[in-house]
A and B are shown apart, each in its own frame.
Chain A
Amino acid sequence: MLIHEFQAKNFLQGLGWRIPVAALAETAKEARRLATELGCPVMLKAQVLAGGRGQAGGVLRATTPEEAEKLAGRLLGSRLVTAQTGGQGLPVSRLLVEKAISLKKEYYCGLAVDRRNETLVAIASRQGGLNIEELSGARPELIKKIFFTPDEGLKQFQARQLAYFLELPENLIRDFVVRLKRLSEFFLQNDLKLLEINPLAWSQDDQLLAVDARMEFDDCSLARHPELAALRDESQENELEKRARKFGLNYLKMNGSIGCLVNGAGLAMATMDIIQHFGGQPANFLDIGGGVTEEAVSQAFELLLSDSQVVVALINIFGGIVRCDLVARGVLAAASRISLNRPVVVRLEGTNVAEGRRILEESGLPFIFAADFEQAARLAVELSRQTR
C-alpha cells in the first residue's frame, strides 16, 4: 500500500527530518491563500499515488498567488496521467502547496527490501531527483548500498558510511546519521517495503530537507497496523479493481477484448499468455482465488462483463479446492442479473467437473464448451475476431 507524499512527510517530520513548509489545498482559492501565507514562489504538487508526477505536469511552480490559483484550478479535479498510472490516470483532489526552496545540492536516500539477497538495504546516491533504478544502470559509481538484517537493524556506523559517501558537509553528517537510523527503525516497526526520500536537499541555508518522499507498506502486515491501514486512499484505486478486492478477487484491467475468469494466479497469467499466443488480447487478469464463494464468483463474472471492451468471455477453471459446480452456480447467478449478450467460452476441469457442466448446460444459456485449455483459447480468440 502506497501513501501520499504529504502523509509520508508527516511521518518523516515525526522522526526528526526537516521538510519544506507546506499545507494541503483542496480548492484553487485555498491554494491562493496558502501561497500568500507561505510567500511565493511556491510549488503545487498533485497528491496522487504514482511516481513520475514531475514529468507529467503534476508538480508546478507558481511565482504569485494569482498564478497559484490559476494553476491549482487546472490541476484540481483533473486526472493526472504519469508513466506509472496507465492511460486512465489518477484523480487529483488535493495539492500540497509548498514553499519553494533554493538548494545547493540534491541527493537520494532510500530503504528497501532486497528480494534477491533476502535482506534489507539502505541506498544513498550523490545525485537526487531521478529514478534510482535508471541511475544505478547509467551511473553506478554515484550509488552506495549497505545491507542490514531485520534482527540487527541498521547500525550507526553504516549510516555514517552513507553520509560520508554522499560527501555531506561536516555539520550535517550527525543529523543525517541519527535520522537515518531512526528511519530504519520506523521501517522495521511498521513493515515497510520501500521508503524513499528523493530528492533529499542540502539547502542554501545549510539544512538537510526531505523535499519529496515515498512510502510503501506491506499489505500482508496491515492487519497488525490498523492505524496504517486507515491511511489507504481508495479514491486512487480503479473502480473495478476496488470492487474486486471487496470480494477477495484479484482483478487487473488490461486493454484487450477477451475477458478472463480463472482460478489461480499462475493459470490466470497462462490464460492471458495463451490468448496472446493465438493472436488475441486479454481484457483483464482475474484470479478468483482458492477459498472463493458462489457469491464472489458471480461478482467476478459480472465485473468482467462490466468492462465494455470485452467482446468474448473465457472461463478457465482447474478445480482443486475450487469446485466446478460452485463456479457454475456463481456464473448462473450473475447471468440471471445481467443480460448475457456476449459469447462465453467455458473450460472446466477437475473437482466436480461433470456437475458443473451439467448445471451450465441445463441453464439453456448459450455457453460454448471447450474440451481443453488450448481449444478454449482458440475458440475465444476466433470469436473475438468475428465480433470485432
Chain B
Amino acid sequence: MSILVGANSRILVQGLTGKEATFHAQRMLEYGTRLVAGVTPGKGGQVHLGLPVFNTVEEAVRAEEPEVSIIFVPPLAGAEAIMEAAQAGIKLIVCITEGIPLLDMLRAKSWTKRYGASLIGPNTPGLISPGKSKVGIMPGHIHRPGSVGLISRSGTLTYEAVNQLTTIGLGQSTAVGIGGDPVVGLKFVELLEMFRTDEQTRAVVLIGEIGGQAEEEAAGYLKASAYPKPVLAYVAGRTAPPGKRLGHAGAIIEGRQGSAGDKIDRLREAGVKIIDNPARIGLMTAEVLSAR
C-alpha cells in the first residue's frame, strides 16, 4: 500500500490556472498523478492542461469526484481555500501555500476538524507515494518505491533525506511534508499511526526541527504505543539561537520551549534512533533495517 494517496487517487488542483500551479500540475501529470480537475473562480468552463476548470470546489466535486485537493492560492486566500475544500467533502487537503496568517489558520484548522477532512500543510512541499502519485512540488525523480516512510517539517531537507535513502538503495512508501508553519494539519503522531498499519512500510524516518511540540508529542505517542516498526529521527536546529525565527514561521525556540536538544532527548527516551549527522540519514536507516 502506502498512506494517504495511491495510484488511483483522484486529485483536484485549487488555483490551477495560476503560474506556479500550472508549472507544478504539469510535473504532477508527467509523474502519473491522476489530476482530474482544477478550480479557479471566474474561469469555470475552460480547459487547462487538458483538465476541466470549475468556479467552485463544490462543482468540481460533483462533476469529477476528486478525493484529494492540492492548493496553490495566494496566502491571504489560503484559509478560505482550505475551508471551501473541506465543506465540499474533500477528505484530504494538501495546502502548498506559504505565509497564511496565523489566525486564519486557527479558523481553517477547526473548520477541517468540523468537516472530518485531513489537512497536510500549509507551507509544505506536499506528499508522494513513489511510483503511484505525487501530490506536491518535490522533484519526483529522486524518489523510488520502497519500504521507508518519511515524515518531515521541511522541504529541501526532505529531498536531501530522500536522495540519501534512494542512493543507498532504500525506496519510500510515502514521504509527507507536514509543513513549516506554527499551525499545520496532520503531524507526526497521526502519520505515525497511519504508517503503523501500512504493510509496505518497514521503518519510519522523522525529520523534525526547532519550535512547537510536534516532536515531543511524537515521543509521547511512541512511548505509549509499543510501536512495531523502527523509528529514526533527525531534528534540525541544534545551533539555532533562541527567540529567532529560522526561515519557517514555525521554526523558533520560544522561551524555554522547542529546542532541538529537548526534542532529541524526548525522542531518544521513547526508543527512537537519533541521527546526529544529517548526511547519514540514509546510511543509518539502512543499518537499522539490515539489523532486523
Contact B103 A191 (CB under 8 A): yes
Across the interface, do A373 and B279 meet the contact criterion of CB distance under 8 Å? yes
Given contacts A115-B183, A116-B213, A265-B251, contact A270 B157 (CB under 8 A): yes
Q: Are B279 and A274 in contact (CB under 8 A)?
A: yes
B234 and A270 form a contact (CB under 8 A): yes
Report B-chain residues with C-beta under 8 Å of the C-beta of A80.
none
Contact with B along A103-146 (1 / 0, CB 8 A): 00000000001011011100000000000010001000000000
B102 A267 Cβ-Cβ under 8 A: no
Interface contact A113-B103, CB-CB below 8 Å: yes
B101 contacts partner chain A, Cβ-Cβ < 8 Å = yes
Give every chain B residue within 8 A of A274 (Cβ-Cβ): 277-279
Answer whether residue B155 sits at the interface, using C-beta atoms and an 8 A cutoff: yes
Q: Tell me whether A149 and B110 are in contact (CB under 8 A).
A: yes
Please tell me which one of the listed residues B212, B244, B247 contacts residue A115 in the complex, with CB atoms under 8 A apart: B212
Q: What separation, in Å, do the CA atoms of A63 and B239 have in the docked complex?
A: 45
Closest Cβ of chain B to A193, distance in Å, is 6
B256 touches A133 (CB 8 A): yes
Residues of B near A137 (CB, < 8 A) are: 256
Enumerate chain A residues within 8 angstroms of B229, measured Cβ to Cβ. none
Q: A268 to chain B: which residues have CB within 8 Å? A: 246-247
Q: Are A321 and B103 in contact (CB under 8 A)?
A: no
Is the CB of B159 closer than 8 A to any CB of chain A?
A: yes
A-side contacts of B251, CB under 8 Å = 265, 269
Q: How far is the CB of A306 from chain B (nearest CB, A)?
A: 20
Q: Is B169 at the interface (CB under 8 A from chain A)?
A: no
Query: Are A269 and B212 CB-contacts (below 8 A) given A264-B154, A264-B155, A350-B159?
Result: no
Q: What count of chain A residues pass the 8 Å CB interface test?
A: 55
Known contacts: A116-B213, A151-B107, A191-B101. The answer to whether A220 contacts B137 by CB under 8 A is no
Are B106 and A113 neighbours in the complex by a CB distance under 8 Å?
yes
Query: Which of A12-20, A94-102, A199-207, A282-290 contacts the other chain?
Result: A282-290
Contacts of A350 in B (CB 8 A): 139, 142, 159, 163
- Whole-angstrom CA separation of A269 from B234 in the bound complex: 11
Partner of B152, one of A221, A266, A377: A266
List chain A residues, Cβ under 8 A from B104.
221
Please report the C-alpha to C-alpha distance between residue A282 and residue B207 in the assembled complex, in whole angstroms: 21
Whether A277 and B180, one on each chain, are in contact in the complex, defined by CB atoms closer than 8 angstroms, is no
Interchain CB contact under 8 A, A270 and B180: no
Which residues 2-43 in B have Cβ within 8 Å of A in the complex? none
Q: Nearest Cβ distance between residue A52 and chain B, in whole angstroms?
A: 11
- Render B153-176 as a binary contact track against A, CB cut-off 8 A, 1 for contact: 111111110010000000000000
Q: Residue B100 at the A interface, CB < 8 A?
A: yes
Is A290 in contact with B101, judged by CB distance below 8 angstroms?
Answer: no
**Within 8 Å CB of A265, what residues of B?**
154-155, 180, 209, 246-248, 251
- Determine if A320 and B157 form an interchain contact, defined as CB atoms under 8 angstroms apart: no
Which chain B residues (135-151) contact chain A, with CB distance < 8 Å?
Answer: 137-139, 142
Q: Does A361 count as interface, using CB distance less than 8 angstroms?
A: no
How close is A87's CB to chain B, nearest CB, in angstroms? Answer: 11
When chains A and B are docked, how far (Å) is the Cα of A282 from the Cα of B238?
12
Query: Among the listed B163, B212, B241, which residue makes an inter-chain contact with A254, where contact means beta carbons less than 8 Å apart?
Result: B241
Q: Are A287 and B182 in contact (CB under 8 A)?
A: no
Taking a contact as CB atoms under 8 Å apart, the answer to whether B103 and A118 are in contact is no
**Is A372 an interface residue when CB atoms closer than 8 A count as contact?**
yes
The smallest C-beta distance from A369 to any residue of chain B, in angstroms, reads 16
Instruction: Name A269's contact: one of B125, B139, B209 (CB within 8 Å).
Output: B209
A residues near B102, Cβ cutoff 8 Å: 113, 191, 193, 218, 220-221
How many whole Å from B133's CB to the nearest CB in chain A? 18
Smallest CB-CB separation from B244: which chain A residue?
A252
Residues of B within 8 A of A250 (CB): 246-247
A134 to chain B, nearest CB (A): 8
A276 (CB) vs chain B CBs: closest residue: B239
25 contacts between A and B (CB under 8 A): A113-B103, A116-B212, A118-B106, A118-B109, A133-B256, A137-B256, A149-B106, A150-B106, A220-B100, A265-B247, A266-B156, A266-B157, A267-B156, A269-B210, A269-B240, A272-B237, A273-B278, A276-B239, A285-B240, A318-B159, A318-B163, A320-B155, A320-B159, A321-B137, A377-B279
Which 10 A-B residue pairings sit nearest by Cβ, starting from the closest? A266-B154, A265-B247, A264-B156, A266-B157, A374-B279, A221-B101, A269-B236, A270-B278, A133-B255, A373-B279
